[in-house]
Amino acid sequence: MLDIKKWKNLIMKIIRFYLIWAISFGINIVIIYICTDMFWYTIMFSFLLIFVASILIFFIQKYFTFRNEDKSHIRMQFLKFITLILSLQIVGIFVLPKINIFFNSYTISTIIFAIGMSIINFVVQNRLVFIKKHR
């Protein structure tokens, strides 16, 4: 049976996720543009700065996007979140240079990569990181 309230909650969660994702993504693009395209630092330096910024994003996603008020499992949630972010960044380290061959701009390559990875990011956060009953 179709549960309208459940679908509405999921749609609102997706909207909140992509709102925060867009803001975070904008910040990440600025970091990457400044570091790689303007100052010619390595993409690894950009990823380090993005990782530091992701600590703040954890709390925004937890409390705003997923409406998860559970403080008893916050360490486990944070560990899972950071593992997810690091995993996506490791994938990015290997995939972005391949994409960059076609566009010759880490900024454009990152946009293409991030759009694809955002779907995986949402599913993992929704199903594994910010679940109501923690495993």
pLDDT digit string, tens, across residues 41-51 = 877 888 889 88
Task: Specify burial of residue 62 (Cβ count, 10 A radius: 0-12, 13-18, 19+).
Answer: buried
> What's residue 15's pLDDT?
96
Terminal CA-CA length for the chain = 27
Q: Please compute the mean of the pLDDT values over residues 65-78 and round it to a whole number.
A: 93
> What's residue 133's pLDDT?
64
pLDDT digit string, tens, across residues 109-129 = 888 888 889 999 999 999 999
Indicate the SS3 state at residue 66.
Answer: coil
Mean pLDDT for the chain? Answer: 88
Cβ distance 124 to 84 under 8 Å? yes
Structure tokens at 82: 């950071």
Cβ distance 61 to 118 under 8 Å? no
Beta strand residue intervals within the chain, DSSP E: none
Residue 134 in this model has a pLDDT that exceeds 70:
no
Distance CA 85, CA 87 (A): 5
Q: Please compute the mean of the pLDDT values over residues 3-27 and round it to a whole number.
A: 93
